[in-house]
Chains A and B, each alone.
Chain A
Amino acid sequence: MSHSNPSASTAHGHDHGHDHGHHKETFLTKYIFSQDHKMIGKQYLLTGMFMAVVAALLSLLFRLQLGWPEDTFPWLESILGDWAKGGRLDPSFYLALVTMHGTIMVFFVLTAGLSGTFSNLLIPLQIGARDMASPFLNMLSYWIFFLSTVIMLLSLFIESGPAAAGWTIYPPLSALPQAMPGSGLGMTLWLISMTLFIASSLMAALNYITTILNLRTPGMTMTRMPLTVWSFFTTAILGVLSFPVLLSAAVLLIFDRSFGTSFYLSEIFIAGETLNRTGGSPILFQHLFWFLGHPEVYIVLMPALGITSEVIATNARKPIFGYRAMVGSLLGISFLSFIVWGHHMFVTGMNPFLGNVFMILTLVIAVPSAVKTFNYLATLWKGNIRFTPGMLFAIGLVSLFISGGLTGIYLGNAALDINLHDTYFVVAHFHLVMGSASLFGMLAGVYHWYPRMFGRMMNEKLGYLHFWLTFAAVYMVFFPMHFMGIDGVPRRYYNFTGFEYMAEWMDLNRFISISAILGSAAQLIFIWNFFSSMRMGKKAPMNPWNSNTLEWTAPVEHLHGNWPGEIPHVHRWPYDYSRPGASEDFIPQTVKDDDLPEELRKPSVQPVPHHAEKEAVPTETLLFSRLLQALGFRKA
C-alpha cells in the first residue's frame, strides 16, 4: 500500500488510533481468536515452547536407550506400555522417537516457534505498521498451525505408534503402509499434519512479505530496516519458494501410499511377496525433499541470525559492522540455498560430475556464512559490551555457528562425505549449526524482547545460570559425536552393543546421555523464569536496552494498532550507537537530523584515519582494503 495515497496505512491507523479504548474485547477475541500480531506472536511462542518440551522429552527417552542399552527401566513400561516391554524400548518405537523428535524440533519449534513468534511480534513493530497486511490471514495461519500441532501430537497416542521413517520420511518406509508399524496410521497423520503445517507456513510467509514491502512507515526505506526484519523477509521468501515443493513431494507420496502408484517405489519384495509396483525411484523423493530441506535449514537459521545481529549491536553499543554485507549475505545465502540440495545425496549413486557441481556450490555457501561470522565478531570487537542474558545467547549462537559451520565444509566434500554420511558426524554438524544455534537465537530473542512482550524484565541471575548450563550442555552433548562419526558410528541405530568396533564408544554415549539430561533440566530454570517473571519480574521501562528500533517507542499495554497516536516516522538507520559527540550512546530511528548537533548530521561513518582516502569511507570498505593490503593484493 502506498503511503502517499491515504487509503491503507493511514486509514488503518485512523481506525485503530482512535477507537481503542471504546472497542470492547471479549476474552475470546483478545486471547484466543486474536488478530493482533503481538498476541499471535505470543501464541506461537507458547505453542513452540510446549512442543520443545515434548520433543526434548522424546529425545531423553532415546538417549536413555543409547546410554544404557543393556539396562531395563520398568517404569518405562508403565508409561509406554507395549512400546517398552520389560522396561526396554521397542526398536521400531526407538525410530519413531527419533523421527518425532526431529520433526517437532525442526518444523514446530524452530520454524513455527521461532520465525512465527518473532516475525509476528517484530515485523509490524519494527517497520512502524499498525499490524500485518492481513491480520485475518495471520490468525488463520496460527490456528491451522495449531491444528497441525494437535494432529502431530495425536499420532503419539495411536496403537501402531507415530511415523518412524525419520524427519526426512524417505520412501519406502514412508510409502508402504505395511513397511513397519509407524508406516501405517502414524505416517498418514504425519502427512496430514505436515500438509496443514505447509499451508499455515505459506499463509504466514505471504503475509510477512506483503507487510514488509507495503506497510513500512514513511522514512523506513529497505536499507533502514533492522536486520531482524531483513532476516524475516528472506526467510519468508525461502518459505514461499520451497514449501510448495515439499507439498508436491507429499502429494506424490500420498498417491503412492493410498492409490497404488509407483512414483517412489520400484520392484519391492516384502513379507514374502513381490509387490505390484514398478518403475518408481526413491531417489526422486530425495531430490524433491531436499529441494525444500536445504532451504528449510536456513529458514530455521536466518531468523536466529537476524535476532543475533540486533541483540549484538544493541548490547555492544556499536553500529552493526557491515550492514550492507549482512543484507547481502542473507540474500546470497537465500539464493545459494536453492542450488546445493545435492550435498545430501552424494552417496545415492549420483553422477560424480554432478556431485562436483554440488560440492562447489556447497562450499560457496560457506562464504556468505563466513561474512556474517566476521561481521558479528567485528561488531563485538572493542564494543562497550553489556553482557545481558540475551547478549550471552547471541554470542553463544556465534560460537555454535562457527563450530557447526566448519564441519559443514568437511561434509560438503563429496569424497569425505562417503565416509561421513549418515554417521554421528552429521548429527553433530546439524545439531550445532542448526539445532543449538537456532535455539540460542530464539532464547536470545526471548530474553531481549521479553520486556516488550510482557512489560517486565526476566530475572538476570537465572538467565546467566540458564545460559552457562545450556552452553556447556550443548557442547558436551554434541561435540563428542564428531569423534564417533569419524570412527564410522552410524546414526539412527537402536544400539551398538552388537558391533565389536563400537564398544569403545559405550562410555561416551553414556556421558552424552547424562549431559543431555542435565541440559534439559537446565531448561526448567528458563521455563520457571519465563512464567514467574510475568508476575514477579521487575517492571520494565519502555526502552530497557536503550535501543534504536521502533518497537521500543510503542507502549507495552495491549493496544491494537501499536501506537496510540500517529505512527512514528523514521529518519535514520537503526544502528546509530555510540556516535562520537552525541549526548547519549544511542540515537533512535525516530530522531530527526535537525534535532542533533551540527557535527552529527553527517551520515554515520566511523572516523577515518588521516592516511586513508579523503572522502568518508564506510568502515567495512576500509577494513576490506586493509585486508587486501595485508594479503599483498594492494599497496599500502
Chain B
Amino acid sequence: MDATLSRTTGPVRKKNKLHAKEFLLWAFLVSVFMIFAGLTSAVIVRRADGNWLEYVLPSAFWWSTAFVLLSSISLQWSLVQARRDELGKLKLGLVLTLFLGLLFLFSQWVAFQQMVSVGLYLVGNPSTSFLYVITGLHGLHMLSAVVVLFVIFAQVFQYKVHSKNMLSIRLGTLYWHFLGVLWIYLYVFFQLIF
C-alpha cells in the first residue's frame, strides 16, 4: 500500500465483519487456549527432567471423545434448525447436546475412578497430577459450557432464539466446539506423552 495514502483522506479500509461480541469470544478462547498451552508445555518441560511415571490412559477417555464429537454434531444440527426457525427440532437438538455434554462429564468422572482403582492418585508422580489437573480444568470449562447451553435452551422457550436472533446460539456453539477441539488436542497430547 502507498505509505502515505493512509495519512490523509483516502478510502476507509473495509471493516471487520464479525460482531463485536463474537470477536470478544474469540479473544477469550485465545486466552483459554493459552492456559492449556501453558499447562501442556509444562508437562513437556517436566517430563524432560526424568522421573516420569508412564501409564495407560483410562479407557473411559475413549467414551469422552465419542461424546464430545457427537455433541458437537448435534449442536451444529440445532444451529441449523434455529436458522430455519424449526423450534421443535431445535429443542430436541439442544436436549440431546446437553445430555451428551453431561455424559462427557460423567465419563471424565469414570476415568478418574479408573485411575484411582489402579492406584494412580492426584498426589503422586507429577505425571498423574498433571492428568488430573489438566482434565479437571477442561472439565470445569465444559461444565460452564453446559450451563451456557442450558441458558440458551431456556431462551428458546421465551422465543429469543430464532433465525433473526442467532447471536447467543452462535456464540454458545462456538464455545462448545472450541472445548471439543480442546479435548481432542488434550487427548492426542496425552496419548503421545504418557
Q: Interface on A for B, CB 8 Å cutoff?
A: 1-4, 8, 133-134, 137, 202, 206-207, 209-210, 213-216, 218-219, 221-224, 240-245, 247-249, 251-252, 255, 259-263, 278-281, 284, 287-288, 291, 324, 571-573, 576, 592-593, 601-605, 616, 618
A144→B125 CA distance, assembly (Å) = 36
Task: Tell me if A259 and B123 are in contact (CB < 8 A).
Answer: yes
> Any chain A CB within 8 A of the CB of B192?
no
Which one, B37-45, B54-62, B178-186, is touching chain A? B37-45
Task: Tell me if B129 and A261 are in contact (CB < 8 A).
Answer: yes
How many B residues have CB within 8 A of the partner chain?
Answer: 45
Task: Tell me if A604 and B8 are in contact (CB < 8 A).
Answer: yes
Which one, B21-29, B78-86, B90-98, is touching chain A? B21-29
Q: Inside 8 A of A602's CB, which chain B residues have their CB?
A: 8
- A277 — nearest CB in chain B belongs to which residue? B123
Task: Tell me if B3 and A324 are in contact (CB < 8 A).
Answer: yes
Known: A2-B16, A219-B12. A261 touches B23 (CB 8 A): no
Known: A206-B31, A259-B123, A279-B126. A213 touches B38 (CB 8 A): no
Name 18 interchain pairs, CB-CB below 8 A, sorted by A.
A1-B20, A2-B15, A8-B20, A134-B24, A209-B23, A221-B6, A221-B12, A240-B31, A240-B34, A245-B35, A248-B39, A249-B38, A259-B123, A261-B122, A287-B41, A288-B42, A593-B8, A618-B4
| A284: contacting residue among B5, B27, B46, B52, CB under 8 A | B46
Known: A261-B129, A288-B38. A210 touches B24 (CB 8 A): yes
Q: A280-B126, A604-B7 are in contact. List 7 more A-B contacts (CB 8 A).
A: A2-B16, A133-B20, A247-B35, A248-B42, A260-B123, A279-B51, A281-B49
A255→B42 CA distance, assembly (Å) = 15
- A572 — nearest CB in chain B belongs to which residue? B8
A291→B129 CA distance, assembly (Å) = 22
Task: Tell me if A206 and B45 are in contact (CB < 8 A).
Answer: no
A162→B41 CA distance, assembly (Å) = 31
Task: Tell me if B38 and A281 are in contact (CB < 8 A).
Answer: no
Q: Inside 8 A of A262's CB, which chain B residues have their CB?
A: 123, 126, 129
Task: Tell me if B4 and A616 are in contact (CB < 8 A).
Answer: yes
Task: Tell me if A603 and B46 are in contact (CB < 8 A).
Answer: no
A214→B20 CA distance, assembly (Å) = 6
Q: Inside 8 A of A291's CB, which chain B residues have their CB?
A: 38
Q: Which chain B residues numbered 69 to 90 have a C-beta less than 8 Å away from chain A?
A: none
A260→B132 CA distance, assembly (Å) = 13
- A1 — nearest CB in chain B belongs to which residue? B20
> Any chain A CB within 8 A of the CB of B133?
yes
> Any chain A CB within 8 A of the CB of B19?
yes
A215→B45 CA distance, assembly (Å) = 41
A586→B24 CA distance, assembly (Å) = 36
A96→B17 CA distance, assembly (Å) = 50
A353 to chain B, nearest CB (A): 14
Q: Inside 8 A of B18's CB, which chain A residues have their CB?
A: 214
B14 to chain A, nearest CB (A): 8
Task: Tell me if A573 and B123 are in contact (CB < 8 A).
Answer: no
A198 to chain B, nearest CB (A): 10
Interface centre among A219, A221, A288, A573 (most CB of B within 10 A): A221
Task: Tell me if A3 and B15 are in contact (CB < 8 A).
Answer: yes
> Any chain A CB within 8 A of the CB of B188?
no
A389 to chain B, nearest CB (A): 30
Q: Which chain B residues numbered 165 to 191 have a C-beta less than 8 Å away from chain A?
A: none
